[in-house]
Every structure is written in C-alpha cells, then in structure tokens.
Amino acid sequence: MKTLLLVNPAAGHGRGRKVFESLEPRLRGAFPGLEVRFSERAGHAVEIGREAAAIGFDRVLCLGGDGTPYEFLNGLYAGGRPDRRPEIGLIPAGTGNSFLRDFGLETPDRALDAILAGRSRKVDLVEFEDQERGRTARRYSLNIIGVGLIADILRLTNERLKFLGAAGYSAAVLIRLARGMSNRIVIEADGKRLEAPDSALVISNSKYTGGGMKIAPPADTSDGRADLVLFNGVNRRQIVSIFSGVFSGRHAGHPRVHMRQAAAISVEADPPLRLMADGELAGWTPLRIKVLPGEIDLLA
C-alpha cells in the first residue's frame, strides 16, 4: 500500500516537527516506502492534497493540528469527489486537536497505536459552500463550522493571542464577548426554518472544538447529520454564562442554547457573518451545507 505522511512542522508552535522526529522510526518501520511531505506555508497542504488525488495513495497520515487534514481534504476534493479515496489517519501535534478527542486519542502515541492497529471506521464529511470575494467557494470540514462569534474568536486568537497557546482561545472568548452581538440569522435545517436575532451559531460534526470545549455533546461523527448549536438572542451576561459551561458540555442545558440535527442546512445572516472551519478562517454567509455520510475511512 502506498502511504503518504503529511507533516505540518509549525503546528503547535513547532511541536509538529518534534512529534515527527520522535515517531519517524516507528512510522518508517511500519510503512515501507513511506513518502513524507512537509507543509511549508498556509495553503500548502491544499496543494499536496491535489497532488495526492492525482497520484492515488492508499493511506494518508496527517501530522499536525485540525487545520492540516482540513487543508489536505480540501485539496483532495478540489476536483470533485475523488474516485479513489485513501484511508485517513490523524496524529495530533497542534494547539487544539479537537476532532480526535471524540475517539479518546489525545496524544500522538495513542493515535499512532490506533493507526498501526488498522482500526478503520466510517466518519461523515461536511461539504459546504460560502461566499468569498463575491464568488461561491466549495469546501469540506471534518470537525466544525463556526458562524459569526466563533469565527471572530478564532481571528482574534490567530492575530493577537496565538502566543498563549490553548489559553489564547479562552482569552479571545472573553475579549470578543465584551462586544456583544447585533445580527439576524435565518436557518433552514432539513426544511425547518428558524430566525434568531443577536445570535451565534456552530455547526458541528464532532463534539469538541478549541481543544477541550465540548461544544456539541450529542454529536456523532458517523450519524449522517450535523449538529446545530445556536446561542439564540443572547446578551453579554447570558453568553458569558453559556461559555462558562462549554468545557463540560453543561451549556447544552441553558435556555438560550438551542440544538438540533440535520443533513442539509442553509444559513443567511444580516449583516453577513464571517465563517471558520476546523480552526481555519473561511468565507462569509450565506452558507449551504450538505453532510456526506460515511465519506471518510478514518484510522482511529
């Protein structure tokens, strides 16, 4: 089997390179002929994904944060749904590493153990369309799409607080919440319409985001549906109260938090809201989502 190892050496403030160096002997011993590629800049893993689609690897291992498989899959699917889709393995070395938490794989060694054990499971992939520079862009997400507030928090983290590591995300939450929200969101989920003023929205394929934030406790990566988490009509005090319970999942019981599941979702917003996907800034609303059930063979 042809195996590609994609390494983001800059993940986790240089942790990606250290993890690769520590695991390289095991990886090369387990996968004869292993091809190793390093992501050298933002967007480079997208290019590697495009190349992988043309070459036709049987197995691709992504060593980095949540953004590494995000970029790779968007390159792999750039020409449309590939006829030959490789098994995907993830080795966490980033700041958050949210997606693998659903499977109890929070360290590089445990993730590699699961890969070497050959445990493969079907997980859903979320296909979405957004707006960027006046054009519609199609993208793919394994983990989470944030609408408005969550994307603003990510941008603040990346631009001003990344030096704090995982704590930077929590600090960005407090800073951004101080501004409050002023918007109107219209959601259609499997044909059911909902309007929400002064709200924030998360659409999640898995339970966790931002490292240990259990944002969507009921989420299942293989149920063919995405989980909507709506902070509906919240003021500053309420949103602070909600976020105080987000690490434990306790926020799900707050009266201003609405949750539902759907396979097809559209989101309109006034004014248009910024989006994030899998820890990376994307485009803007309007947003169209379709869940591709069991699309990815994940080694976990």
pLDDT string in tens for the chain (300-residue length): 899 999 999 998 899 999 999 999 999 999 999 999 999 999 999 999 999 999 999 999 999 999 999 999 999 999 999 888 999 999 999 987 899 999 999 999 999 999 999 989 999 999 999 999 889 999 999 999 999 988 888 788 877 787 776 677 778 877 887 777 889 999 999 999 999 999 999 999 999 987 788 999 999 999 999 999 999 988 888 888 888 898 899 999 999 999 999 999 999 999 999 999 998 999 999 999 999 999 999 999
Looking at CATH, the fold of the domain delimited by 3-118 is given as Rossmann fold (3.40.50)
Phi, psi of 105 (to 5 degrees): -110, 85
Sign of CA dihedral 144, 149, 155, 159: negative
Q: How many CB atoms lie within 10 A of CB 171?
A: 15
Contacts of 240 (CB under 8 A, 6+ apart): 174, 177
- C-alpha pair distances (Å), 96 with each of 119, 174, 202: 23, 18, 17
Per-residue tokens: 148: 């408005």
pLDDT of residue 11: 94
pLDDT of residue 156: 86
Give me the DSSP letters along 52-76. Answer: HHHHT-SEEEEEESTHHHHHHHHHH
Q: Where in the chain is the domain with CATH 2.60.200.40?
A: 126-294
Q: Tell me the H-state helices in 58-215.
A: 67-76, 108-116, 149-156, 166-177
The CATH number of the domain covering residues in 126-294 = 2.60.200.40
